[in-house]
């Protein structure tokens, strides 16, 4: 039991440290590389996020990018979600995301490329 508590507190500490930095998540879908970053540490409230889409090392700036963050229904809490369409700013797709509460938020990042295809990356963030 003592050991379990110790492990839990170490994990909590590790997450705490990880959370104290802007995020940087890398994904790959259908030959496209996607990097999702945040301007600052994620907080409850408004956050500015950036997505960079590239293929074969070349940044793609003519895609349409949108994002949906969501948290499944939990005891005493309804399903929550937040969506935004990105706008291109200096070669990065910029998004504003409002998190209603802390915890784990899953997200789908969708990007439509010039060939009309829609690609979806799924992951999650903690705050």
Choice between 22 and 103, CB closer to Cu ion: 103
Choice between 30 and 126, CB closer to Cu ion: 126
For residue 60, which of 3, 2, 21, 111 has the smallest C-alpha distance?
Answer: 111
DSSP 116: S
| Residues 61-100 within binding reach of Cu ion (CB under 5 A) | 71, 74, 77
Determine the size of the site formed for Cu ion (CB under 5 A). Answer: 3
125 touches Cu ion (CB under 5 A): no
Choice between 71 and 97, CB closer to Cu ion: 71
Q: Is 56 left (phi over 0), alpha (psi -120 to 50) or beta?
A: left
| Residues 11-40 within binding reach of Cu ion (CB under 5 A) | none
Distance CA 76, CA 58 (A): 46
44 touches Cu ion (CB under 5 A): no
Site of interaction with Cu ion (CB under 5 A): 71, 74, 77
């Amino acid at each position: 039991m003592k050991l379990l508590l110790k492990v839990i507190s170490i994990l909590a500490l590790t997450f705490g440290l990880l959370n104290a930095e802007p995020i940087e998540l890398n994904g790959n879908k259908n030959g496209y590389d996607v990097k999702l970053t945040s301007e600052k540490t994620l907080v409850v409230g408004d956050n500015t996020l950036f997505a960079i889409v590239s293929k074969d090392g070349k940044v793609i700036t003519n895609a349409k990018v949108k994002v949906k963050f969501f948290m499944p229904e939990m005891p005493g809490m309804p399903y929550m979600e937040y969506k935004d369409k990105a706008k291109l700013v200096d070669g990065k797709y910029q998004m504003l995301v409002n998190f209603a509460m802390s915890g784990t938020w899953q997200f789908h990042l969708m990007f439509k490329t010039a060939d009309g295809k829609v690609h979806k990356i799924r992951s999650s963030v903690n705050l």
